[in-house]
Amino acid sequence: MTLTQPSETRRGPVARPRGPRRTRGGRGAARAAGLLAALLLLAVVVVLSIAVGAKQLPLGTVWPGLTDPASAQYTVVHEMRLPRTLLGLTAGLALGLAGGVMQALTRNPLADPGLLGINAGASAAVVSAIAFLGVGAYSGYVWFAFAGAAAVSVLLYTVGGGRGATPARLALAGAALNAALLSYVNAVMLIDAASLDRMRFWTVGSLASARLDVVAQLAPFVAAGTALALALARPLNAMALGDDSATALGARPGRARAGAVVAVTLLVGAATAACGPIVFVGLIVPHLVRSLTGPDLRWLLPYCAVLAPVLLLGADVLGRVLGRPGELQVGIVTAVLGGPLFLHFVRRRRVARA
């Protein structure tokens, strides 16, 4: 039985994540080093996020501002920059991980909290709360947003077929829910001018109204969602080969799918509740990461968790610089920045095939 050496099947010039031969261990080491570099990058962005704003802080004063109550910067850092930065970290991590899990779950490279209607569910709940229940306080929105995201996730899972859900059905159900819910949100906002005004800022996605107590409220949900998502990396890896192969390998696709929906709800619900629907972070970060790590979710998900906050905080800092003396909302910056970046990736890689 001779095996012909393949040479004819290579398709066009395609950018590939890795160079020539490397041993398995070497590749693991490279991935670990990359993760470390990503963490360093995150640290840099965090410092910038604390330093940059309407009142510019010299980089040297960031540390004293954080730790020394006597420092002149202490109030600015603790009242404004720190909550905002922590919220960006938490929300970014949540959205990036959720995007990675959703793309794996639906085997659809376009899956992201925005496109599957989970953001829209949160928006619909918030707009209902403002227009019909008269909820005015920011801290009140949070729980409605969470409930809305959870309701849509459950609906998505049920309509998508429950334990027998197929990736295609999940994606279709998500798209339909998204369209319906967004129409509802727009209708309510058109009818009720007052709620339109209040909703406006929330619906574009912003870190500006960050408060430490909100971050603290949401942190447990994000922590639970993160733990669940990372624990699902292996089963989702097996499910990437098809449900039959996954079952043959000893994974349980039905259980893993339910777990993934719970993880996504926790992560997206928390992030959306805190800063409104921020699009593109959950879509583009997993794509970018896939070109670095390959499709192995045991690496892809941790990378997403680190690089998504880099993108979100980076966009937030950029919004503060570009919008001076005011600022651009982070949701706008990520979309404006993310669109062209995404197009670039589509051109460079065959991302359309999950």
From 46, 57, 53, 35, select the one nearest 314 (Cα to Cα).
Answer: 46
Query: Which residue lies nearer to another protein by CB, 47 or 224?
Result: 224
Residues 6+ apart with CB under 8 A from 157: 165, 170, 257, 258, 261
Per-residue burial over 183-221, b = 16 or more CB atoms within 10 Å of its CB, e = otherwise? eebeebbeebeebbebbeebbbbbbbbbeeebbebbeeb
* Least Cβ distance, residue 330 to another protein (angstroms): 30
Radius of gyration of the chain from Cα atoms?
21
- Shortest reach from residue 285's CB to another protein, in Å: 16
Contact 89, 314 (CB under 8 A): no
CA distance 264 to 97: 8
Q: Which residues contact 55 (CB under 8 A, 6 or more apart)?
A: 76
Least CB distance to another protein at residue 332 (A): 31
120 vs 170, beta carbon nearer another protein = 170
State the minimum distance, in angstroms, from the CB of residue 161 to another protein: 13
**Least distance from another protein to the Cβ atom of residue 294, Å:** 5
* 236 vs 308 by CB, closer to another protein: 236
What's the min distance (Å) between Cβ of 10 and another protein? Answer: 6
Rounded to whole angstroms, how far apart are CA atoms 104 and 276?
A: 24
| Residue ranges binding another protein (CB under 8 A) | 1, 3, 5-6, 8-11, 16-17, 20-22, 24, 107, 231, 234, 237-238, 240-242, 244-245, 247-252, 290, 294-296, 350, 353-354
45 vs 238, which CB is nearer to another protein?
238
| Closest CB to another protein among residues 11, 347 | 11
Tell me, what DSSP letter sits at residue 4? P
Nearer to another protein, 5 or 69 (CB): 5
